[in-house]
Amino acid sequence: MPSVSASPTRLKFWGTRGSISVPGRRTLGYGGNTTCVEVRADGEIIVLDAGSGIRSLGVALEKEFHSQPIKLSLLITHAHWDHIQGLPFFAPAYEKKNEIRVRGYDGVDMSFGEIMAEPMKAPFFPIAMRELSARIDIKKLTEMEFSFGKVQVRARFVNHPGVCAGYRLFTSAGSIAFLPDHEPYQFLHSARDSDMSPEERKKIAEEQRIALVDFLHGSDILILDAQYTDAEYETHVGWGHGSVSSAVSLALDAEVRRLLLFHHDPSHDDTMLDAMVDDARRLIREKGQDLKVDGAREGEEVLLPTDHANSCK
């Protein structure tokens, strides 16, 4: 049976795009599939989100495991389409020998079980969730700390429309934080329709950001929403996503070891994303800080060796 040993911790990007998949020659460098990240750590396979990239992950897993059973855990950040649309096309879900744990939080008006079943209901898909052959265990999360084997997980709700969680995975080789959808707290989604004064909003925004910095502090890898350029963000306030400068600022304040810009806008081709990465690096140099930053690329593997010296291949 293929090994899922503890050393080193490895993550692989199967989908890095936000909003909608955009395949084509202009997105070959960073990828066109929507959000999906695979983590191998301490004997566990943990998949973060089930965007269109999970289809290719399923093909790779079947090729790797052959006739052996596949056991994995799938963590969902939220129910927006680009984060769940690939699950009906995840081949391991159709094999009875496989075991798949699916975890996430209830939505505003819908339970987590209903959320996961909805995309596979008629007339949207010909096969219902209950008809899948694999042993699929779908349960809502009720706590903000839990574990998959030896991997400890902490969760925190982030600033995005509806219910959206960010996760931090603690492995024997270091920690990985995953916040694919998050807007700076200058705009508060949870307070959008409240009667709070500007002063009250500012106070809450400051408190929330301090708490998020504490949640992320010291992460070895931070995978963070940086969908917009700073200029683009000015016309997208309230859309639920961050910018290059907001991502850099948060990563520096949280003293993370490596930042990976994520949730690439569908209108951004490889040339644009190269420029955004260069801009992030410029901001870090101007602040005199030492932070490694890259744009997440579909197909890229990142290692967390036991000495915490991050490497990429």
The per-residue pLDDT for 197 is 84
Q: What stretch of H or E contains 207? A: helix 198-216
Quote the CA–CA distance of 154 and 147 in Å, as a whole number.
8
pLDDT in tens, the chain (313 residues): 454 444 689 999 999 999 999 999 999 999 999 999 999 999 999 999 999 999 999 999 999 999 999 999 999 999 999 999 999 999 999 999 999 999 999 999 899 999 999 999 999 999 999 999 999 999 999 999 999 999 999 999 999 999 999 999 999 999 999 999 999 998 989 865 567 788 888 999 999 999 999 999 999 999 999 999 999 999 999 999 999 999 999 999 999 999 999 999 999 999 999 999 999 999 999 999 999 999 999 999 999 965 454 444 4
- Cis bond upstream, residue 8 (ω within 30): yes
The per-residue pLDDT for 5 is 46
- Residue with token string 């566990």: 44
Sequence-ordered list of residues with C-beta below 8 angstroms from that of 196, at least 6 positions apart, any chain: 204
- Cis bond upstream, residue 184 (ω within 30): no
The per-residue pLDDT for 196 is 78
- In 3D space, the residue among 4, 306, 11, 16 whose CA is nearest the CA of residue 169 turns out to be 11
DSSP secondary structure string for all residues of 117-173: HGGGSTTT-SS-GGG-SSEEEEEE--SSEEEETTEEEEEEE-SSSSS-EEEEEEETT
Query: Residue 2 in 3-state DSSP?
Result: coil
The superfamily in CATH containing domain 9-306 is: Ribonuclease Z/Hydroxyacylglutathione hydrolase-like (3.60.15.10)
The per-residue pLDDT for 3 is 47
- In 3D space, the residue among 49, 152, 62 whose CA is nearest the CA of residue 103 turns out to be 49
Residue 42 buriedness (CB in 10 A; 0-12 / 13-18 / 19+): buried
The per-residue pLDDT for 19 is 96
Sequence-ordered list of residues with C-beta below 8 angstroms from that of 142, at least 6 positions apart, any chain: none
DSSP secondary structure string for all residues of 178-198: EESS---TTS-GGGTTS---H
Quote the CA–CA distance of 290 and 299 in Å, as a whole number.
26
Residue 286 buriedness (CB in 10 A; 0-12 / 13-18 / 19+): exposed
